[in-house]
Amino acid sequence: MANSLLSVTDALSRVLAGVSALEDHETVPLARARGRTLASDLVARRTQPPVAVSAMDGYALRAADLAARGARVRLVGESAAGRGFGAALRPGEAVRIFTGAPAPDGADAVLLQEDAIVEGALIGASAPPAPGRHIRAAGLDFAQGDTTLRAGTRLGPSELALAAAMNHATLPVVRRPRVALLSSGDELVPPGAVPASAQIIACNGYAVAAIVENAGGEAIDLGIFRDDVGELEKGFAAAGEARADVLVTLGGASVGDHDLLRPALARQGMALDFWRIAMRPGKPLIHGRLGEMQILGLPGNPVAAIVGALVFLEPLVRALHGDADAGADHSEAALLGADVRANKGRRDYLRATLAKDEQGRFIATPHELQDSSLLTELVQSQALLIRAPGAPAARKGEPCRILRLPGSGV
């Protein structure tokens, strides 16, 4: 394979090539289905609303009975949510009604309580309602037997509310993609340890696991492995035992004497797809297959690992869920908040703060320091400012593209 750098667009296409939704399905309680993907169409088990109901507080009546100037109707009862009037309404009659309460048979409108003229048991109107006003017809939302949620739908708050209203207590969903995380490096120790002067705390796995979980996957932490081919092979075996769909390695993806991931994976029979990408940060990124398991080797620098996970791993997890738009471009338009230099031959992802101007447009201001080991600037950022390969210098106020970071809140 040639050693030329692969573009980000081509690399993502190759990562997602041939990936389809996992065939394993399971049924989960509605309360545990957030972020999951429907495995089959969902059919309504009831009609919503099941009967005609009032959309407002007021009086249910026949609109024609108040059409004449000075007309009055007689109040004969009440209808509340969950407890209807229980009889048909006759001409000249009205029922006190509340929002969500069943409209009695014979009623074709609701007179708003603020438009009502109440004289004991007689009701008049300062503004008579038109027929059909403020009454929600039975089945206005959906009818029993309607397919309102399709297979492949990602279940967010609105979808879960709809499934519940359709009277589903459990939902058929695609199994969560299993993503095994393997950290490698003699210099790494877990959080809470007392590191030697030449050691650092392993942090990448926590960020990447959060990205996996946010995308709907199941993150499996395999732990830290030394820079030794035999030790790394034990980690690969552990990923296989965990039945991982994807193995993500953290660190060791470059070409140094101690970067042993590629030779270790090659010894196990990995079919290498690519390992160098025209992006910054994150040029040394491995992609291949080990049997049925996808391999994604992320760099060891924390920001490079996180950017690589957002650009490649998140879409891969979504594709395994069956998301047809997994590879879509989610960048957004913004304006530069500062001058930027001309870019070279790689796509840059610059950490940037994000604000809105008076017109509601995003203003992206890159940090001065962009070293891929600096997490502080990442935490202080709300977006990645995307600079195309070979882009010329640009001035403050000129248009740009951004990728909003998870939890940016802007």
Q: For the chain, how are helix, strand and coil distributed in percent, rounded to 5?
A: 20, 35, 45
- What is the per-residue pLDDT for 4? 78
- What is the per-residue pLDDT for 73? 97
> What is the SS3 assignment for 35-85?
CCEECCCEECCCCECCCCEECCCEEEECHHHHCCCCCCEEEEEEEECCECC
> Does residue 1 carry a pLDDT above 50?
no
> Does residue 255 carry a pLDDT above 60?
no
Q: Please state the separation of Cα 219 from the chain's center in Å.
A: 16
Q: Residue 381 CB: number of other CB atoms within 10 A?
A: 22
- What is the per-residue pLDDT for 97? 98
- Check: CB of residue 273 under 8 Å from CB of residue 290: no
Cα separation, 172 vs 27, whole angstroms: 4
> pLDDT tens-digit profile of 342-387?
999 999 999 999 999 999 999 999 999 999 989 999 999 999 999 9
- What is the per-residue pLDDT for 401? 98
Structure-token pair, residue 40: 């089959």
- What is the per-residue pLDDT for 167? 98
Q: What percent of the chain has pLDDT over 90?
A: 88
> pLDDT tens-digit profile of 291-341?
999 999 999 999 999 999 999 999 999 999 888 889 999 999 999 999 999
Structure-token pair, residue 203: 């942090």
Structure-token pair, residue 407: 């939890």
Residues 382-399, mean pLDDT to the nearest whole number: 97
Local structure of 111: helix, strand or coil? strand
Mean pLDDT over the full length of the chain: 94
Place of tokens 């995307």: 386
Residues 21-34, mean pLDDT to the nearest whole number: 94
> pLDDT tens-digit profile of 140-179?
999 999 999 999 899 999 999 999 999 999 999 999 999 9
Using pLDDT thresholds of 50, 70 and 90, give the confidence band for residue 392: very high
- What is the per-residue pLDDT for 259? 66
DSSP state of 300: S
Which of 99, 96, 105, 98 is closest to 75 using CA atoms?
96
Using pLDDT thresholds of 50, 70 and 90, give the confidence band for residue 410: confident
Domain ranges within the chain, ordered by starting residue: 8-23+175-321, 25-48+141-174, 59-132, 332-404
Using CA atoms, how far residue 37 sits from 44, 70, 154, 164, 350, in Å, is 18, 58, 5, 16, 32
Residues 25-51, mean pLDDT to the nearest whole number: 95
Place of tokens 């660190």: 251
Burial of 143 (0-12, 13-18, 19+ CB in 10 A): middle
Which of 292, 289, 293, 203 is closest to 250 using CA atoms?
203
Residues 239-264, mean pLDDT to the nearest whole number: 82
Pick the CATH number of 59-132 from 1.10.10.60, 2.170.190.11, 2.40.50.140, 3.40.50.150: 2.170.190.11
- Check: CB of residue 250 under 8 Å from CB of residue 305: yes
Fold of 25-48+141-174: Molybdopterin biosynthesis moea protein, domain 2 (3.90.105)
> Does residue 257 carry a pLDDT above 50?
no
> Does residue 19 carry a pLDDT above 70?
yes
> Does residue 256 carry a pLDDT above 60?
no
Cα atoms in the Cβ-side hemisphere of radius 13 Å centred on 345:
6
- What is the per-residue pLDDT for 21? 87
- CATH code of domain 8-23+175-321: 3.40.980.10
Place of tokens 């081509």: 10
Structure-token pair, residue 212: 């996996």
Sequence-distant (6+) residues with CB within 8 A of 46 are 144, 166, 167
Cα separation, 356 vs 369, whole angstroms: 22
Q: Please state the separation of Cα 157 from the chain's center in Å.
A: 10
- What is the per-residue pLDDT for 336? 98
Write out the CATH class of domain 332-404. mainly beta
- What is the per-residue pLDDT for 238? 97
- What is the per-residue pLDDT for 2? 38
> Does residue 242 carry a pLDDT above 80?
yes
- What is the per-residue pLDDT for 309? 97
